[in-house]
Structure 1
Amino acid sequence: MDTTMPPRRHNRFARPTDRERMDAGFDARLHADDVAFGARDAALLRAIDATGSLNAAAERLGRSYSRAHGRLDDLEAAFGPLVERTRGGASGGGTALTEDAYALLARFERLRAGYAAIAETTVAVLSGTVVDRDGELGTVETDAGVVRALVPPDADAVDVAVRADAVTLHAPDDAPSADATSARNRFEGTVERVESGDAVARVRVDVGADTALDALLTVDSVERLGLRVGHPVVASFKATATRATPTER
């Protein structure tokens, strides 16, 4: 995770434009057109701000200049002007962030903070029995159904923890098949609760077990998917994002 400090100037926040939407996946990202702005992009802008040079920023991050330049062009085509370049002069020229760039960074940090604050306290626990193993991964039978997860080597009775930021929700008609995605854990259910904040919402899904699954989405994504109490959904999550621990007796 990017641990650099927030930008040191411009505390003004920009409202999202009509063409921008936030991604419903568990990674914090902002979308404009078909371009996703994520943690690597935020790190690039902050490095430019700190060094005053795209070339120096790329070097600091261990990236090639050509790839950093190409990525910046893609971001600017989607989000608008993000840097101002000057040439020559007493200072030798350089690159500085625009107000749009600072506003974009601020919006991204608000989104990521919203995800983190909820995800840290939202974990569903499904109890079950390991019925098969394939290296570190195992198949666990739970009340909700079969779950693939990282399992301990010497335990059969386990608790499977599923973090809310690892769960993706799909409309039933649009859900990819299990063979078409790496998120092999899939459960059909209905929306039990929707708790919306300023940017992030927590959606609780009844999957027919004692413990419901929670998922984190942006508020915009909740509206786009039309999620309401009683709405049918498909919840999916990756085995490698799911960890089982021995059940305490």
Structure 2
Amino acid sequence: MDATADVEVQLGQGDVALTARDRTLLQAVAAHGSLNAAADALGRSYAHAQRRIVELEDAFGPLVDRSRGGSGGGGSELTDAAEQLLARFQRLQAEFDGVATAAETVLQGTVVDRDGELATVETPSGTVRAIVDTEAGPGDAVEVGIRADSVTLNAPHEAPEPAGTSARNQFAGTVERIDEGTAIALVDLAVDPDTTLSALVTDTSLEKLDITAGSELVASFKATATVGVISALDQSRADGSS
């Protein structure tokens, strides 16, 4: 079983997946009229770009029509299949962006320490490191937002040591609910009796990790992807005293 589930929008076909980097390459071919010019514009080697196109075509079928040089010069253009593939990718990206924006876990907590923009916040679910409003000091109540697309899920025995990863925030929990979309799944992880942490994973990762309701997992997320603001109650008190 794979140890980690996180999200990068991909369209898979067998062992090959079209990624955002591949989408950019195909779009550059369409814009510049040749693979050579596309690679140059993107700062990539032509050999690497050509090899990647071949890999994608082995999986998805013809994507680039190439013409040899002659009196009119050589060039490349996308096939109808490539245009359809890019459209599918765009729809998947839109679905992902919509879910990621809507799915955010908000924790109530109290600042216990801070170091510049980063602060340590004590919440009912545990301690969180986050980028917190600079006006919030020790003792202030804050609301910490954690976007679902910033959360990585791991099997408990495969969870990285916090000191050895940039994702130093970690909560263990039990899968409470799974909402599967076309290619993206929203996993709700109960990290304490009153708190559910949402995470986005691809359907492929969901299957590989064998995530089901009741699965025990560890959620990890970076401090730099976690934002805290002064809670509305504390803010209203501050406004009233000024």
Classify the TM-score, shorter chain: 0.7 to 0.9
Which of 31, 36, 51 does residue 73 from structure 1 map onto? 51
What is the alpha-carbon distance in structure 2 between the residues aligned to residue 59 and residue 77 of structure 1?
20
What is the alpha-carbon distance in structure 2 between the residues aligned to residue 55 and residue 76 of structure 1?
14
Match of 1:243 in 2: 227
3-state secondary structure, aligned to 1:109: helix
**1:1-249 correspondence to structure 2 within 5 Å:** 24-30=5-11, 37-61=18-42, 63-64=43-44, 66=45, 69-77=47-55, 80=58, 82-99=63-80, 101-155=82-136, 156-208=140-192, 210-249=194-233
In structure 1, list runs of 5 or more residues that go unmatched: 1-22
3-state secondary structure, aligned to 1:230: coil
Deviations 1:200-239 (A, max 9, x none): 1111000015331111112222122111111101111111
AA paired with 1:53? S
AA paired with 1:171? A
Q: For the Cα contact (< 8 Å) 2:7–2:202, is it kept in 1?
A: no
Give the Å deviation of 1:76.
Answer: 2.9
CA spacing shift, 1:219–1:58, aligned 2, 3 Å: same
Give the Å deviation of 1:106.
Answer: 3.2
Give the Å deviation of 1:24.
Answer: 4.1
Give the Å deviation of 1:247.
Answer: 0.6
CA spacing shift, 1:134–1:47, aligned 2, 3 Å: same
AA paired with 2:184? V
Q: For the Cα contact (< 8 Å) 1:35–1:74, is it kept in 2?
A: no
TM-score w.r.t. length of structure 2? 0.82
What is the alpha-carbon distance in structure 2 between the residues aligned to residue 184 and residue 223 of structure 1?
26
AA paired with 2:128? V
What is the alpha-carbon distance in structure 2 between the residues aligned to residue 99 and residue 179 of structure 1?
49
Match of 1:3 in 2: none
Query: Per residue, is there more helix in 1 or in 2?
Result: 2
What is the alpha-carbon distance in structure 2 between the residues aligned to residue 117 and residue 245 of structure 1?
23
CA spacing shift, 1:184–1:72, aligned 2, 3 Å: farther
Give the Å deviation of 1:77.
Answer: 2.5
Q: For the Cα contact (< 8 Å) 2:151–2:199, is it kept in 1?
A: yes
Give the Å deviation of 1:154.
Answer: 1.5
In structure 2, list runs of 5 or more residues that go unmatched: 234-242
Q: For the Cα contact (< 8 Å) 1:30–1:38, is it kept in 2?
A: yes
**Range that drifts further, 23-32 or 213-222:** 23-32
3-state secondary structure, aligned to 1:153: coil
Percent identity between matched residues is 51
Larger of the two Rg values belongs to structure: 2
3-state secondary structure, aligned to 2:167: coil
Q: For the Cα contact (< 8 Å) 2:110–2:121, is it kept in 1?
A: yes
3-state secondary structure, aligned to 1:120: helix
CA spacing shift, 1:171–1:51, aligned 2, 3 Å: same
What is the alpha-carbon distance in structure 1 between the residues aligned to residue 129 and residue 164 of structure 2?
16
Number of residue pairs aligned between Structure 1 and Structure 2? 224
